[in-house]
Structures are given as structure tokens and as C-alpha cells.
Chains A and B, each alone.
Chain A
């Protein structure tokens, strides 16, 4: 993957314009810096109550970034990058305690989107996004490997439950089950375990040969264009198979 890209102030300004909606501005301007969010954040508590870790302070950095527009500089962006990717998991716990209900997760996601405009995204997330585009999942699993894994897990399960199956592309099934691509990669037994549940519950279910990864790391990366593409993959599978429900894995 590409190394750190050169600063592109024009693109940064465009991203600011694109991201600046009324809701976001209202949140950033209404924050009274009351500090109630401080003790709600696991980063703040785990880092000896470092004031830099207070959610409102992180939100303030996003406000600063939005105000910089094309006056963005390397030093600011570097610090911003570590805060926005490394010091907020967008868990929304702070929002539960904010008197105004300010959604820091959305503010963080906006900040990440600004970084995306500069190509400044953690390398490993970039790799997963490329993999979604190439293979339809975050783990570079080919369709052949996916089908092989499903068949292998079906055989494993049948040793104990001869009637159990892992249906693939069963049109009109009630439930389409989708997984985290880490399952076929690192935890294939998850698949036989869920097949056992469906078999014993008498569920009419199926897996899909494509659009089967329900993770969306582009959403976490702040790359909303890629995120929309990835969610469309699952949606297409669900519509093609005419299922009533799409179940997402544990």
C-alpha cells in the first residue's frame, strides 16, 4: 500500500465542505465543555485521566479541523490522525451522559472522513477496503475458499448430526445468515456451530456464495463511499435470494 501521501489542501477543503452539515455544526457549537463526558470514556479512565482523552476535547479537534479548511498542515494532521483513529472507538457511551446528547461517534467518523481525503488511513484498514472491492470480504477469501469452508464445516457437523446441512444460495429461504470474514479465516467452527443451531431450531436458512461478509470496516475507516458499496453487496445477496431476514453473526 502507498506510504503517507502528500498533503492535499484542496481536497481537505472539499471534504470539509462535504461533511459540514447543520447537525454537525450545531453539536460542535453547542458543547458547553461541562466535562460530564470525561468519566464516561474508557480512554480517559485507562490513561490516568489525561485531559486530551476527554471526548469533548476530541470533538474540539474536529471543529478545529473543519475551521482549517485549506490551511491544513502536516503537524496538525499527524496529531489529528492519532486522536481520531487511536483514541475513540465510536462506542457512543459519552453520548448517553451528554446533557445535549452530542453524538461524538458521528463527529469522530467525520474526522476520519477528513483523514480519508488525505489518504491518511491506518494501513491495515486500507488493505481490508481493497479486499472488499476485490473479493467482497475483508479477508481476501476467494469464493472457492468460502464454498470449500462451508462444505468442510457441513461434513464436520454431519459426523454428529447426519441430517444437518449448510444450504448455499437457497432462494426463498426465510433467513440469510451472514458472517464476519474472520470466521472462515480464523474460526471456521463458528460456522458449524451456527448450522447446528439452525438445524435443531428447524430454521429455513441459507448462506450466500457472495455478499456474505457482514463487517464493514470502510465505515469505521470513515470511507463512506466504500462503506455504501460494501453494504450493497449484502443487500444484493438478500434481494437476489428473496429472503425475509438477514441475520448477522455474533
Chain B
């Protein structure tokens, strides 16, 4: 307290949105065109971090079929994995899974096949909820989706060794 920071703290979501906005990254939107996506707002990224809008901007470049949970954004529910609930483990696990019922129902109501979330707590919790409440979804972070959808310029790719056979 009381000291000036010489640096700025930025969440990945804001950084990724900047890259896309500035044209530094290009995504192939067709990759996830067959999937319905929804977005889990991590409490400390959206409500308490103010990055909800940046996340939707990324989604605009990434998803064809996107459905919001109800409620969403600043009013979205906690997944139940926050506040240290995941690492508390042990006897806290059962409470955590039970409290996640609200999130599980929100996700189910969207009919989504992919739930995107940029938070490791949400990610681990929703993967557990996926099993516990049989949601049948895939839980993905933005960077996992980018791995598949980023357009890579040919000159940056490794040369195929068996190319001369063609």
C-alpha cells in the first residue's frame, strides 16, 4: 500500500481481446461453427475484474452460435469453485459440488456443447459439475480454443519432412 506500481496488471482476456481488435491474431470462425458455446463469467474476472465485455469481444471472433447463460455478465452466478473452494478439497468437496447445482442448471438451459471459461477454478469446478450433473459438455479456456482456431501464416509453420514425395 502507498507505493506506485511501475507496471500495469492485465488479465489474459483483456490482452487477447486487444490482439484480436488490433488484427494481431486471426481466428478461423468455422472451426467451432457446429458447436453451441456459452460463457462462464468468473466472479473475479467479470463482476470483480471488469473483463466481461472483453470476453464477449473475443467470443465474437471465435463462435458462430453463442448463447448467454441467464443471468450473465456481472450478474452471473458463481460456479461454486471460487474463494479457495477447489484447493480446500477434502470435506469441502461435497459442499462445493452441491452448491454448483445452480451453475449446472444454468449451463444445461443454454443447450451449449462447449462452456468457455478463462479461470482455472471455474474450469476445474465445471469439469466436475459436468460429471456430477451429466451435462455432456466440453469445458474449454480461450487459449485451448485458440490452439485449434488460430490462423497460422504458412511461412511460420514447420516444413513437412515428407513434402518432396508430393
8 Å CB contacts to A: which residues of B109-166? Answer: 117-120, 123-124, 141-144, 146-147, 150, 152, 156-158
Distance, CA A91 to CA B102, complexed state (A): 14
Inter-chain contact A161/B92, CB cutoff 8 Å: no
B50 within 8 A of A: no
Inter-chain contact B101/A46, CB cutoff 8 Å: yes
Q: Which of A46, A128, A159, A244 contacts B100 (CB 8 A)?
A: A46
B8-44 to A contact mask, C-beta < 8 Å, 1/0: 1111110110010000110000000000000000010
Inter-chain contact B81/A201, CB cutoff 8 Å: no
Q: Which of B141, B144, B157 contacts A161 (CB 8 A)?
A: B157
Binds B, one of A56-64, A65-73, A117-125, A142-150: A117-125
A75 within 8 A of B: no
B9 to chain A, nearest CB (A): 5
Distance, CA A238 to CA B9, complexed state (A): 10
Q: Which of A42, A239, A247 contacts B12 (CB 8 A)?
A: A247
A19 within 8 A of B: no
Given A42-B102, A217-B84, CB of A92 within 8 Å of CB of B43: yes
Inter-chain contact B77/A201, CB cutoff 8 Å: no
> Chain B: which residue is nearest A97 at the CB level?
B75
Inter-chain contact A197/B47, CB cutoff 8 Å: no
Given A91-B47, A250-B118, CB of A245 within 8 Å of CB of B158: no
Distance, CA A89 to CA B5, complexed state (A): 29
Inter-chain contact A42/B77, CB cutoff 8 Å: yes
Q: How many residues of A contact B (CB 8 A)?
A: 60
> Chain B: which residue is nearest A202 at the CB level?
B24
Inter-chain contact A200/B120, CB cutoff 8 Å: no
Q: Which of B74, B80, B82, B143 contacts A194 (CB 8 A)?
A: B143
Inter-chain contact B95/A86, CB cutoff 8 Å: yes
Q: Which residues of B contact A130 (CB under 8 A)?
A: none
Inter-chain contact B6/A42, CB cutoff 8 Å: no
Inter-chain contact B88/A197, CB cutoff 8 Å: no
Binding site for A on B (CB under 8 A): 5-13, 15-16, 19, 24-25, 43, 47-48, 74-78, 80-85, 87-92, 95, 98-103, 117-120, 123-124, 141-144, 146-147, 150, 152, 156-158
Shortest 6 CB-CB contacts between residues of A and residues of B: A220-B84, A91-B78, A250-B118, A89-B83, A89-B82, A193-B143
